Each structure stands twice: as C-alpha cells, then as structure tokens.
Amino acid sequence: MRAPRHLTSVAVVVLTALVVGAVVLVSSLLPAYAPNEPEVLASGLDGGAGSTVGPGGDLYVVEPDAGELARVDLRTGEVETVATGLPSRRAGSPGGTVDVAFLGAFAYVLVSDADGLAGLYRIGAPGTVHLVADIGAWSGRHPPAGEYVVPTGVQDALERHHGSFLVSDGHHGRVLRVAPGNAIEELVAFGRDVVPTGLEAAGRSVLVAQAGPLPHLPHDGRLVAVHPETGATRLETDGAPLLVDVEGGPLGLYALSQGTFHLGNPAHAPADPRTGQVLVVGRGGALETVARGLDRPTSLEVVGDTAYVVTADGTVYTVALDVGAS
C-alpha cells in the first residue's frame, strides 16, 4: 500500500557501484533447494528498477517512469516517496532513474540516457536534486574500444565502493569508478557483447553479473569476480539467461535472472513475462533455483534469510531463502 506522497530529507545519487574482493563460496555446504513462492510486499510503484537497503534498514527503490525515489518499509510494505524531480524514462527507452546507493546519510541515484543525460545525482535535504558526476559527458570523451551506438553509454547498476561508486555500462561493456565531484575512471573493460549488469561489493572483490549478447542465452549469463586494482577477472558461475543482479547471502552468492529472451525482440526489451528466477550458487558452482515465475525482475537485495525482488511493473516481492532447503 502506498503511503501519502510527500518528500522526506534524503540525499540521493544516481550511480552504479561495483566492488571487487575475495569471494568465499560455500557451495559444498549448500542444501538442495525446492523453489519457494514469491510473496508481494508492496506494489503500485511507477515502474521498478534498482534498489538498495538504506541506513535505517528500509528498502529504497527507484521509479523510472516517474523519476522518483521510494522507501519501502520491510515490515509493513508501506511505500513513501522520498525524492522527486529526477529525470524520468522516455517512452520506449530503457533508461531514466536506474539504480540507487547510499554514501553515508546521502542517497545517490544513477540516471541513464534520459533526454541525453547520464549521470550520478545526490538528493539533499529537503529532497533537492544535484548532479554530481556527468557520466554521459565523460563517456563521450572517453569512448570504449570497438563498436557502439550510444555515445553516453547505457548504465545499469550503481554500487558503493570505498568512498566512491562503481557503475556498470552494458552498452560500452565496462565498469566505471565514479566519485562525487565528477572524478571518473574506467575500472575494467570486458569488451563487446558481454553486457555487465548488476554489481556487488564482496570483500576485496567486485562481483559483476553479465547478461551476454542477444538473445541472452543461458551459457552467456555469467557471474564474475573482478579485482579492483588490477581488473583481473575470475568466473564464479554461469548458466542462467539474462542475469541482471548479484548479491551475497546466508549461503553464498545469489543471482537474479530476468528470464528467457526471444531473438527478434528489441535490444533493450525485457525478458518474457513470468520467466524470472532467483538462483543460488549451489554444489560444484551450479546455479540452483530458489524462486521462479517472477515477472521481469530488475533488482535483488538480501537481508538475513529473505530476498527482496523488484520487478519492472513496480512490485516488490519477498522470497524466503531457507524454506524448502533439505
């Protein structure tokens, strides 16, 4: 249920943060999973994209259709608008407000290709919006190697990392390090058709989900760990179509697959309806299904033994991570 729409004092910046560190998998200890049923926690958001857990323990979700940031109470499911006035998504575009992360008490929002803008925004009190890093302009001056169509790139995820942020750019095939104040550099370049998406800081490594080229076949869906200083990468697992996020959790690594994708769909189109899955890296590094049947999921957060999944239509689901284990 949506609470009254009013602004609260929150600082928001748009950006994709990526963290590289040592990843310890406990795959040999994982139980076999029986898929669990997702349950609706909140609905009615103006579209759904990236999310994060804020300093107070609530879930923050960007609403790309409206250019707003919402806070979801994880106990009650109540939704409250905390920032407006961010660039909204154009009709037929994959961009707009795409992700959110916190640095201290301030929220930062990542905006991608909204009316030619791509940048990191900070929301200050009371709900004011400030551009703090022009990622699109930097990308235009520092193009990637190989072919591309959009000079500003198409950014996907934002992750806090050692006082700055990491941002994935699926179109330019790379991850950037972005600091408030417009200091931007390339962390790692994967090359064409890798399509880096979701990010997760894990110890001294940064985990990166990769969707792969069209039509995003399962063997192209990969999770890799990246060393933040050298850019060296290590494959953690693969085998799921259109991977869009990765999170650490109670039994190791969890991944979010948006689902199957048909060749012939537009490049920026989402997966087929109700084919999304939450997965866990299981025995021998294989991906095991925790929940299925999600409708075009966009982001994943794990708190304790519960996963919180945001979908493109503005719904937030909970998935129990311990139910069904044997």
- Which structural domain, as residue segments, surrounds residue 58? 11-320
pLDDT tens string for the chain (326 positions)?
A: 444 433 444 443 333 333 333 333 433 344 455 688 999 999 999 999 999 999 999 999 999 999 999 999 999 999 999 999 998 877 666 678 999 999 999 999 999 976 778 999 999 877 789 999 999 999 999 999 988 999 999 999 999 998 999 999 999 999 999 998 889 999 999 988 999 999 999 888 999 999 999 999 999 999 999 998 888 999 999 999 999 999 999 888 999 999 999 878 887 789 999 999 999 998 788 999 999 999 999 999 999 999 999 999 999 999 999 744 44
pLDDT, position 267 = 77
pLDDT, position 283 = 77
**In-domain check, residue 2:** no
Q: DSSP code of 34?
A: -
Compute how many other C-beta atoms are within 10 angstroms of the C-beta atom of residue 207. Answer: 27
What is the count of structural domains for the chain?
A: 1
Q: Which residue has the tokens 């109540």?
A: 78
**In-domain check, residue 1:** no
Nearby residues of 206 by Cβ (< 8 Å), 6 or more positions away: 18, 19, 20, 21, 159, 161, 166, 175, 187, 199, 200, 225, 226, 228
**In-domain check, residue 217:** yes
Query: What pTM was computed for the model?
Result: 0.89
**In-domain check, residue 216:** yes
Q: Output the domain CATH number for residue 198.
A: 2.120.10.30
**In-domain check, residue 51:** yes
**In-domain check, residue 4:** no
**In-domain check, residue 146:** yes
**In-domain check, residue 47:** yes
CA angle (161, 151, 46) in 5-degree steps: 65
Nearby residues of 29 by Cβ (< 8 Å), 6 or more positions away: 251
pLDDT, position 88 = 86
